[in-house]
């Protein structure tokens, strides 16, 4: 079975996500492209210009204008979020819906376009790297059992409970409802990492939630495509094969990220070999891309690799490496700025690509299913997986907080899009409910994270 990261960046598979828009099919895109080419040819032949060259320039101008608008609107939105003291991802999503083709029409970048795929792929990778760099070995040692159990067994529990709820509410074949549950089972590190960067929660709680969200995407993909094989009659789910595939993705991803993280630390922070210390920001960019594609090329999780790369680089002092204070500050400022830019691009585009017509087909039933996901499936998962961990000794308030901070985002959205592209049974319903889950969890859970942390006594002074 191929890994999620390989599927995630396949433009051909993502034919019509619920956030692509009504004209998001390749046939429509080709028709529009042919029409533009014909009109451009007429203009250019009269002026003596090469039509292909002129068309390329126009596309480049339009792309640059769109990126400029996104940066401008995103920066102002981020400033507003800071002023009203809520995580910016929620506001980015709302503003994206307002500027998209279904509303004001300022931005119209299709979900199956190369530009969107590059932004999602690199943006999610860099956000994961940033999240990994903020984790500390001494905290992870206390909580690793909970992280592993929730990221594996927890995904199965969430998928089963959500699937049962979908079957009772929406009807239809149980295997299709279970496929929906599997699609929604994983949480999204690209959403959670920025939230915990802005809301300072007790270290071990924040780091457990971020780490588990980074590790569970591979498990979510394996369960989803295992159930899909049964639903489409192409095979039976094999526990042994799926377990082996999961272990391979995790192991190879950890090795790839660990090796490149150590190499990057050596080149920017070693006492004798740090000849690239002044170019540390560039080294991190190259290494993030390298870690992703190294793991991806070995059929492992690229997102796992960049997350582990961030952990190793962020804990370089544990390996005896130390950067010059000035260079360290420059690197931290660069990483924070780049992560912010990637965050605003991802979530503004995610909002701009909402297809309200598709989402509205299953609105009421979808809201009910997502409510079960938020208030039953995910709390049950946390308590069943974290309570037996005697090493971590979680308090009730800590587990209650972890139940609430389990947003759905980019990864489940990508899985839903792949199911649409493969014409899986119930794909329209799955895509619709998945985006309802993205909207509900980000718009309800993210803004209330700080309030809940304070009420439960987990908020740290900033």
Quickly state the pLDDT bin for 238 (edges 50, 70, 90): low
Indicate if the pLDDT at residue 372 is higher than 80.
yes
- Phi, psi at 408, each rounded to 5°: -100, 140
Whole-angstrom CA distances from 429 to 171, 374, 389 are: 11, 18, 37
Can you give the pLDDT at residue 178? 94
Whole-angstrom CA distances from 255 to 1, 210, 356 are: 20, 20, 42
Residue 213 to residue 216: CA distance in whole angstroms: 5
Of the candidate ranges 33-47, 159-173, 272-286, the one whose mean pLDDT is the lowest = 33-47
As a whole number, mean pLDDT of residues 446-451 equals 92
As a whole number, mean pLDDT of residues 138-152 equals 89
Can you give the pLDDT at residue 181? 94
- Domain 120-455 top-level CATH class: mainly alpha
Q: What is the pLDDT of residues 59-92, one digit of tens each?
A: 888 889 989 999 999 999 999 988 888 888 889 9
Indicate if the pLDDT at residue 164 is higher than 90.
yes
Q: What percent of the chain has pLDDT over 70?
A: 86
Contact 314, 135 (CB under 8 A): yes
Q: Please give the structure tokens belonging to residue 396.
A: 């009730």
Indicate if the pLDDT at residue 320 is higher than 90.
no
Can you give the pLDDT at residue 9? 42
Contact 222, 166 (CB under 8 A): no
Three-class DSSP category at 179: helix
Q: Please give the structure tokens belonging to residue 209.
A: 């939630």
Residues near 326 by Cβ (< 8 Å), separated by ≥ 6? none
Greater confidence (304 vs 50) lies with 304
Most confident of 39-48, 105-114, 415-424, 426-435: 426-435
Of the candidate ranges 44-48, 336-340, 449-453, the one whose mean pLDDT is the lowest = 44-48
Can you give the pLDDT at residue 276? 86
Q: What is the pLDDT of residues 171-197, one digit of tens each?
A: 889 999 999 999 999 888 878 888 888
Most confident of 49-63, 205-219, 329-343, 367-381: 367-381
As a whole number, mean pLDDT of residues 270-286 equals 86
Of the candidate ranges 8-12, 141-145, 293-297, 422-426, the one whose mean pLDDT is the lowest = 8-12
Quickly state the pLDDT bin for 318 (edges 50, 70, 90): confident
- Phi, psi at 353, each rounded to 5°: -95, 15
């Amino acid at each position: 079975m191929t890994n999620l990261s390989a599927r995630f960046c396949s433009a051909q598979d993502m034919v019509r996500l619920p956030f692509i828009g009504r004209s998001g099919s390749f046939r429509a895109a080709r028709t529009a492209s042919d029409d533009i080419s014909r009109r451009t040819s007429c203009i250019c032949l009269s002026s003596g210009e090469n039509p292909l060259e002129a068309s390329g320039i126009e596309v480049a101008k339009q792309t640059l204008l769109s990126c400029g608008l996104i940066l401008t609107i995103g920066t102002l939105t981020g400033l507003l979020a800071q002023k009203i003291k809520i995580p910016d991802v929620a506001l980015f999503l709302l503003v994206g819906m307002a500027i998209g083709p279904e509303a004001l029409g300022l931005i119209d970048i299709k979900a199956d376009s190369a530009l969107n795929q590059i932004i999602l792929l690199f943006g999610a990778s860099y956000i994961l790297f940033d999240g990994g760099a903020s984790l500390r070995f001494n905290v992870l040692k206390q909580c690793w059992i909970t992280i592993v159990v929730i990221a594996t067994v927890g995904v199965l529990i969430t998928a089963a409970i959500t699937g049962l709820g979908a079957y009772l509410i929406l009807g239809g074949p149980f295997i299709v409802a279970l496929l929906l549950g599997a699609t929604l089972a994983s949480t999204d590190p690209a959403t959670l990492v920025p939230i915990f960067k802005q809301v300072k929660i007790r270290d071990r709680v924040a780091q457990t939630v971020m780490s588990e969200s980074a590790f569970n995407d591979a498990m979510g993909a394996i369960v989803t495509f295992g159930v899909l094989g049964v639903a489409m009659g192409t095979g039976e789910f094999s526990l042994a094969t799926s377990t082996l595939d999961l272990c391979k993705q995790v192991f190879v991803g950890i090795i790839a990220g660990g090796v490149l993280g150590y190499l990057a630390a050596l080149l920017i922070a070693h006492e004798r070999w740090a000849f690239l210390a002044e170019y540390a920001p560039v080294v991190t960019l190259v290494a993030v891309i390298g870690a992703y594609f190294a793991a991806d090329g070995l059929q492992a999780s690229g997102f796992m690799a960049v997350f582990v790369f961030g952990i190793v680089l962020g804990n370089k002092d544990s390996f005896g490496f130390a950067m010059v204070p000035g260079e360290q500050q420059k690197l931290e400022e660069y990483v924070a700025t780049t992560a912010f830019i990637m965050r605003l691009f991802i979530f503004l585009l995610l909002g701009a690509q909402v297809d309200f017509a598709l989402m509205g087909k299953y609105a009421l039933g979808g809201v009910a299913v997502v409510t079960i996901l938020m208030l039953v499936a995910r709390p049950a998962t946390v308590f069943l997986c974290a309570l037996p961990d005697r090493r971590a000794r979680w308090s009730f308030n800590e587990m209650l907080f972890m139940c609430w901070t389990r947003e759905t985002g980019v990864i489940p959205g990508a899985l839903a899009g792949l199911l649409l592209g493969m014409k899986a049974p119930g794909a329209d319903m799955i895509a619709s409910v998945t985006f309802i889950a993205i909207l509900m969890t980000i718009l309800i859970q993210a803004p209330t994270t700080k309030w809940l942390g304070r009420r439960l006594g987990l908020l740290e002074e900033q």
